[in-house]
């Protein structure tokens, strides 16, 4: 309602015990408690009740109960949601906790490791750790948080920042940025002692984990169910540098037959500037990298390099590790390298390592020699069983030079033990081609096999078939089995060795065609599966 009269300002002052009923609009200042009150007025004047209302000040002891709020939903709705429970401002604020509540600054100069670790320990490993209500989200406002020791991440930790290169945890110590711990604070080989709860249900998102020295990003030890979303793992490795076994973006260092790492997901994460972006040798299963970016490293993902097949925790190595819909660039050696298990019994070692729908730039597996150079290293190398590549795109050219030089691309896209399924291609086969003409070339295929599934359409005629090719340094043999609709389409497919240099072995296999003269060109759609 409009103000109809302004009279003199009234106020009283005194001790809290002497505060009387104030007149409507009259102020009362409590000197001994530094609190301020205002008179409600009478009910007949429109006040909800007779009494005094406290005005919240810095001295208000009733802050946590003074401001009540009832959630009303979207106020623009014609029938807004109305809850029955009024809660205080203090209760609502307690639902949110920031590392700054524990003294972290994020100013890139203050040592924040103690404050951050205190926050993590208080929320997730204190005496209330078994009460689910204590497992709140710990928020990291934008800033750079300097640490010099690894942060220990316990069960149920949920750390959230404001985004990569906005919230940055920057480590300068000779250790990883983060390691996992159990709910009793044990790390490494002691995780799980005395029936402690091992690391589980861990979530980290929207931040950069940066190491300024040649050490790791995160060590996932004896973890089950961990989820990383939109996290940037950044090291100090420079393009063209040598390998460094301590510089690992993601690793697993501790496993046993009872406690191993499993069910870990990396979604929309970035891995950059570690000598080894991913390096896992210990027993672990069900690890997923989806829609991630891998760049600037000596190795991309190195799996099983340090396992021996006999030491506890290193019996089987990493298994069921998938890389999907991700990009790889500026990696000197293999993007994915599954190493053999020396001296171990058959059946051990990494298994079910899968690359699917990834993009591999021409700057991968060329020893940092630049785009368009030739390499002696495959982009993907599987030296153990049950591994595959499906519908990956390789930007670099794997074909040998035909200029008579001795410079060869001695390695194919995929090498070792595994299956590579390439994307479907389409090509026109010219009419009346009597000399065998190359459709596609497959380099370094000595001792390997090809299966080419295809369909040829020529006018109103078509053929569906499968061509199996076996290649060795002694020659090529092939079998083309097909079914035609109606008459002969007049296309013959063959395979031959193209000896583009004088080097024995690792020859190039060429898929070729000839056509009869019908006045109509043919079109072939084909998909190649390579048995590496």
- Pick from 91-105, 133-147, 463-477 the range whose average pLDDT is largest: 133-147
The model's pLDDT over 93-128, given as tens digits with 9 standing for 90+, comes to 788 899 999 999 999 999 999 999 999 999 999 767
Structure tokens at 65: 């109960």
- Please, what are the domains in the chain? 1-68 (no CATH), 96-235 (2.160.20.10), 237-246+266-423 (no CATH), 424-531 (2.60.40.1680)
Query: What is residue 38's DSSP assignment?
Result: E
Is the pLDDT higher at 131 or at 446?
131
Mean pLDDT of 457-474: 90
Is the pLDDT higher at 530 or at 227?
227
Q: Which pLDDT score, from 0 to 100, does residue 508 have?
A: 78
Q: Which pLDDT score, from 0 to 100, does residue 349 have?
A: 82
Mean pLDDT of 29-50: 88
Residue spans of alpha helices (H) in 86-195: 89-93, 113-124
Beta-carbon contacts of residue 28 (< 8 Å; ≥ 6 apart): 11, 12, 13, 14, 19, 20, 22, 36, 37, 38, 39, 52
Residues 237/274, Cβ–Cβ less than 8 Å: yes
pLDDT band at 505 (very low <50, low <70, confident <90, very high): low
Mean pLDDT of 253-276: 93
Q: Is 431 exposed, middle or buried (CB count within 10 Å of its CB: 0-12, 13-18, 19+)?
A: middle
Q: Which pLDDT score, from 0 to 100, does residue 435 have?
A: 96
The model's pLDDT over 428-462, given as tens digits with 9 standing for 90+, comes to 999 999 999 999 888 756 667 899 999 999 999 99
Least confident segment among 245-259, 301-315, 424-438, 483-497: 301-315
The model's pLDDT over 265-319, given as tens digits with 9 standing for 90+, comes to 999 999 999 999 999 999 999 999 999 999 999 999 999 988 877 788 888 889 9
> Quick one: how far is CA 5 from the chain centroid?
66
- For residue 326, the cross-strand partners are none
Q: Give the pTM.
A: 0.84
Query: What is residue 401's DSSP assignment?
Result: P
Instruction: Decide if pLDDT at 91 tops 80.
Output: no
Nearest to 200 by CA among 153, 130, 160: 153
Least confident segment among 32-41, 268-277, 352-361, 372-381: 372-381
Instruction: Decide if pLDDT at 208 tops 60.
Output: yes
Instruction: Decide if pLDDT at 85 tops 90.
Output: no
First-last CA distance in the chain: 84
Instruction: Decide if pLDDT at 87 tops 80.
Output: no
Mean pLDDT of 175-204: 94
Structure tokens at 440: 């596609």
3-state secondary structure of 528: strand
Instruction: Decide if pLDDT at 502 tops 80.
Output: no
Structure tokens at 287: 């690890």
pLDDT band at 86 (very low <50, low <70, confident <90, very high): confident
Tokens 């690359």 identify what position? 355
pLDDT band at 201 (very low <50, low <70, confident <90, very high): very high
Nearest to 312 by CA among 385, 260, 264: 260
3-state secondary structure of 90: helix
Q: Which pLDDT score, from 0 to 100, does residue 73 have?
A: 67
Instruction: Decide if pLDDT at 356 tops 70.
Output: yes
What does pLDDT average to over the chain?
Answer: 87
pLDDT band at 80 (very low <50, low <70, confident <90, very high): low
Q: Which pLDDT score, from 0 to 100, does residue 406 have?
A: 44
Mean pLDDT of 396-400: 59
pLDDT band at 238 (very low <50, low <70, confident <90, very high): very high
Instruction: Decide if pLDDT at 254 tops 90.
Output: no
Least confident segment among 79-83, 193-197, 333-337, 347-351: 79-83
Beta-carbon contacts of residue 464 (< 8 Å; ≥ 6 apart): 454, 455, 456, 482, 483
């Amino acid at each position: 309602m409009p103000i109809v009269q302004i009279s003199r300002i009234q106020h009283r002052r005194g001790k809290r015990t002497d505060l009387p009923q104030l007149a409507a609009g009259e102020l009362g200042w409590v000197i001994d408690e530094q609190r301020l009150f205002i008179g409600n007025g009478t009910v007949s004047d429109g006040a909800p009740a007779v009494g005094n209302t406290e005005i919240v000040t810095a001295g208000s002891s009733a802050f946590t109960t003074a401001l009540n709020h009832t959630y009303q939903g979207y106020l623009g709705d014609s029938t807004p949601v109305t809850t029955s429970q009024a809660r205080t401002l203090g209760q609502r604020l307690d639902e949110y906790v920031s590392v700054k509540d524990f003294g972290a600054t994020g100013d890139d100069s203050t040592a924040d490791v103690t404050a951050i670790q205190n926050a993590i320990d208080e929320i997730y490993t204190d005496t209330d750790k078994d009460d689910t209500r204590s497992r709140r989200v710990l928020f990291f406002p934008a800033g750079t948080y300097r640490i010099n020791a690894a942060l220990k991440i316990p069960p149920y930790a949920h750390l959230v920042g404001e985004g990569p290169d906005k919230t940055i945890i920057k480590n300068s110590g000779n250790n990883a940025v983060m390691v996992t711990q159990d709910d009793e604070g044990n790390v490494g080989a002691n995780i799980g002692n005395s029936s402690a709860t091992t690391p589980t249900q861990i979530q980290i998102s929207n931040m950069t984990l940066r190491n300024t020295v040649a050490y790791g990003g995160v060590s996932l030890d004896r973890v089950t169910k961990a989820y990383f979303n939109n996290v940037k793992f950044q090291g100090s490795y420079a393009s063209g540098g040598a390998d460094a076994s301590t510089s690992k973006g993601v690793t697993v260092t501790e496993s046993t037959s009872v406690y191993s790492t499993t069910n870990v997901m990396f979604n929309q994460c970035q891995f950059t500037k570690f000598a080894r972006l991913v390096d896992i040798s210990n027993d672990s299963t069900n690890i997923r990298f989806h829609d991630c970016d891998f760049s600037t490293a000596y190795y991309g993902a190195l799996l099983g390099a340090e396992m021996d097949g006999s030491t506890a925790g290193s019996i089987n190595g990493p298994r069921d590790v998938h890389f999907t819909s991700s990009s790889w660039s500026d990696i000197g050696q293999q993007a994915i390298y599954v190493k053999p298990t020396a001296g171990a019994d058959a059946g051990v070692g990494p298994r079910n390592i899968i690359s699917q729908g990834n993009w591999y730039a021409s700057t991968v597996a060329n020893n940092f020699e630049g785009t368009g150079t030739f390499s002696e290293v495959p982009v993907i190398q599987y030296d153990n069983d049950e591994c595959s590549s499906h519908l990956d795109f390789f930007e670099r050219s794997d074909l040998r030079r035909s200029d008579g030089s001795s410079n060869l691309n001695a390695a194919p896209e995929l090498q070792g033990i595994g299956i590579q399924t390439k994307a479907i291609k389409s090509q026109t086969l010219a009419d009346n081609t009597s000399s065998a003409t190359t459709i596609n070339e497959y380099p370094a295929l000595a001792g390997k096999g090809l299966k080419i599934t295809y369909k040829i359409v020529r006018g109103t005629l078509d053929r569906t078939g499968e061509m199996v090719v076996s290649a060795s340094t002694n020659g090529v043999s092939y079998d083309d089995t097909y079914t035609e609709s109606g008459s002969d389409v007049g296309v013959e497919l063959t395979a031959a060795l193209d000896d583009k240099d004088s080097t024995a072995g690792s020859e190039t296999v060429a898929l070729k065609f000839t056509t009869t003269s019908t006045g109509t060109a043919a079109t072939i759609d084909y998909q190649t599966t390579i048995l590496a």
